[in-house]
Structure 1
């Protein structure tokens, strides 16, 4: 194993003008084995390809890339197939090419023929050695590529989704073989499925999508850091799980709203104190199914606008405000308005100090209470457990809320606000006070809600550029 670490520093790497990795800084020590993970389109395969010397470095630098790389990827597989198909070109060839046989693909220029033969047997390819490589199935060509890479005595082994398409026995065999070479061969894997990660992996690199075909390395985690690893697992569960937002309680639904009417309409509204004008003649309509981001600096009036909607501002009755079918000031009660709103803020988290279980925090959303003062139904318990599963917190259902991390508390309060499927979910600075991993967790949950529910999301923050996938309407207030 090489003694020099691979070092990537502030690098920007371009891939044929189709994709760019931005500002990558990453160090791989000789005794480390990495998994690269992240959502589709975040650049996982691109980052792995960088280690194989692929891509144009337009900024920063890369040092100590190994000389001999063992690479298995869908791109390399497709390139090999394309090279084989070119041999059919009648303009170049005088005879019809039968294609390169599998035994030549494996054993020509093989660094370790004995290992290659052992792997051929283990992968069950003996009967295919005389067949043309291009005639193999996708799974069979993948096995050939694995044998080529493993028997090449590489300085670095790069495996991009190596377990895709393998049956259970072959998967177990490959995992065991990889474990047997970990002391001599550093490995970097690209995996979408976190549950396929081998036990010997020491570190995880998380990539995230940026704007317009770009990606960046947002987090690296040492697997021995249990807390950080658990947070990363939870984040990837939220981003990649097929679970959908749990349904509402069918036995206790909110009143049905007229779908032809907007949820909120503010007509020429103003907020002023004496001669100081905070909001000046604002028109804003929020229709059902529209997800909005409200942004602006401190003092721009974001909280004031929210309180006009919720009915908590004293000037809501001197403005032209229509919410959830009610024209404000015509005798409606504040609770008739608030039943249609789920609300999460840092202030609510400060107030939620009761020592109750995670499950009961979510169930309290059915009753709009802080703490539990009513007996939950079996349906409500089941819905709460579904929310916990969605967030990767099913093993913490009975843990006390006040013993959780700040970020997990925020996730639970969002679930509490959503449990009734309110027509409008207001998230007031939901990432305030959170570190990067917990911020990513909260944003992933918001994206899930935007994608898989009928609730309209109103996301409030300081920065207009801090956008969430699924939110396509923006209002920026100026101070």
Structure 2
């Protein structure tokens, strides 16, 4: 297999363009493409799978079978499932596509599917609707689908994001074995995750492949990229608009109290006899393997989980199920997660995305005050996006969207700030920025922080409480 790009220009629905791409991938080579958020990393790799319109230039050679795993592919699949869920308007009960049906799509080798399901211990998921999976579980299923298609070119966009430590190690070992037979091209934001089998590194900037280096130069490239980390000692979090909700809460009352929580889907129990109390001023890290129920717990707190009314849940003084509205709960919460990012599909401006955090809305449907606009602009300066304030949110890369939604969660300095894997999809520089912001918020004492993270190096010094959950026994058995 030999693929060569010569002075290629690509367009992606007028949202993004790649310029003057010269690149060659030969048999036996394995590439990592890195660069800042919005630099074109994902777009470049996606062209190998046929995405984007080639405007000019020459592409010679191709792989016989290509498999791509990316956040964009994941979003497309989730959007298709969402449309199925909307079928109730035609009086059809929508149940969603089961995981085993997702795995049967395409050209999957069932023997490989079965082997990987056993290897990653995912048998319990097969009958569950795909949209009911956690972020980590979704990534695993898409990885299995891609691997089982037996590609000779495997494209992996941030394959390790969202995976627990055990799964990450197993995947790295599997890819090492696979690299003996096929070519692998990866997008990675974390330089310390570059696998040992990688032969070449490419660096993207502003839609161009600026640098290409061989394996023997990778260590120097890592050190160069690490020098780009932000100096965050003088960082400050923009003020809010003076409408903090903290004064509405009783100081001697817990923000959240979960008691004897049980979450069950058919015969599959996710959580049982789970208790947790979160008091004002505490900062918690919630940890556990993929599928243990972390995201489900967070959605119980935010009121987005359908079983929140069948459990004993007290949030901000409201006993769930006693007639409170979801907006009475959300006014006290700032929240970012992958699920929210999939839901935030409106084409509003970057400024309006941040302002929508004051109103807990997806999109902005209330006229913003001058003060709110000023604060949003301060956040855009902090994120380095002030020159794009009026650009449409849905034209951003996954990582840039993530940054905007983090600012949206933080903008009102909420009594409870819930950050579910906030660094997913962020490059090293923006990851350091976000971690520094979380540290500042913890130290300020205005918000209680609830933080989910799989990476030890992303630990927050100001978070001194930990809640670790394990998989329920029925959540590990084959179904």
TM-score, normalised to structure 1, is 0.48
Q: Which has the larger radius of gyration?
A: 1
Bigger relative contact order, structure 1 or 2 (CA pairs below 8 A, ≥6 apart) = 2
